[in-house]
């Protein structure tokens, strides 16, 4: 039996080369960002442009020639890539030159002074808070009425039992106070008598002690 042939590669194995995460930006002469476009005028739009005292060379022609060269390169490149050329402003006639003008519908006046405005605001005065109304609970239940005739109450007749009760209570209270005063007076008299009796007994006892003391002294 024939032995199977070993595995062979169609190409020699090699290590994978590291690749960059981002692609390199393509170099082009077109300005994709107007912040880096030299044709954009920068500076304060409110102030007038200060002109130098010494005459400066006309840079418009220099920029125009540079733009013309760039446009030529772009046109040749576009002809290769089959892209239509970018439209541009035609060249000025002999003895004239292009200048920048405002093309908006409403013209804006340029001046060195910044526009200023004064605004004032007046607030209303604080008003006193009105007093809170009194709390009145909601009405509940059913109203009832009673009619009293004029001859329903006779004062002269109805006042007699009330006067009897008042006079009886007054006389009873007066009698109790008189009896209380008599009792207090009797208690005071009895106390005075008991005090006198006690003093008399004490004097008799002292006399008896003095007599006994003398008898003891005579015996000695």
Tell me, what DSSP letter sits at residue 188? H
Helices and strands counted in the chain (H then E):
2, 0
Distance CA 69, CA 55 (A): 27
| Per-residue model confidence (pLDDT) at position 170 | 95
Q: Which pairs count as long-range contacts for 48-55, CB under 8 Å and 24+ apart, including other chains?
A: 48/110, 48/111, 48/112
- Report the predicted TM-score, pTM, of the whole model to 2 decimal places: 0.27
Q: Output phi, psi for 104, to 5 deg.
A: -75, 165
Mean pLDDT, contiguous 10-residue spans, the chain (220 residues): 63 78 63 72 65 59 79 72 63 82 71 83 81 89 84 82 94 95 95 94 94 88
What are the CA-CA distances from residue 88 to residues 33, 62, 64 (Å)?
18, 17, 11
Distance CA 173, CA 166 (A): 11
| Per-residue model confidence (pLDDT) at position 65 | 82
| Per-residue model confidence (pLDDT) at position 46 | 67
Q: Which residues contact 92 (CB under 8 A, 6 or more apart)?
A: 98
Coil, strand, or helix at residue 56? Answer: coil
**CA 167 to chain CA centroid, nearest Å:** 74
Distance CA 162, CA 194 (A): 48
HSE toward the beta carbon, residue 8, CA cutoff 13 A: 3
> Where are the domains positioned within the chain?
161-219
């Amino acid at each position: 039996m024939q032995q199977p042939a070993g595995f062979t590669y169609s190409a020699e194995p090699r290590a994978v080369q590291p690749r960059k995460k981002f692609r390199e930006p393509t170099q082009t002469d077109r300005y994709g960002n107007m912040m880096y476009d030299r044709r954009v005028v920068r500076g304060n739009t409110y102030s007038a442009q200060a002109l130098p005292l010494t005459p400066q060379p006309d840079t418009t022609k220099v920029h125009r020639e540079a733009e013309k060269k760039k446009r030529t390169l772009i046109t040749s490149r576009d002809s290769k890539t089959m892209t239509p050329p970018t439209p541009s402003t035609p060249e000025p006639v002999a003895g004239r030159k292009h200048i920048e003008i405002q093309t908006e519908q409403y013209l804006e006046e340029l001046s060195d002074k910044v526009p200023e405005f004064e605004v004032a605001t007046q607030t209303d005065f604080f008003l006193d808070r009105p007093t809170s109304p009194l709390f009145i609970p909601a009405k509940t239940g059913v109203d009832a009425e009673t009619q009293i005739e004029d001859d329903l109450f006779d004062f002269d007749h109805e006042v007699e039992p009330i006067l009897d009760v008042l006079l009886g209570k007054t006389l009873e209270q007066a009698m109790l106070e008189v009896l209380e005063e008599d009792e207090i007076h009797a208690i005071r008299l009895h106390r005075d008598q008991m005090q006198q009796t006690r003093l008399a007994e004490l004097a008799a006892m002292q006399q008896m002690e003095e007599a006994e003391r003398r008898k003891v002294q005579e015996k000695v």
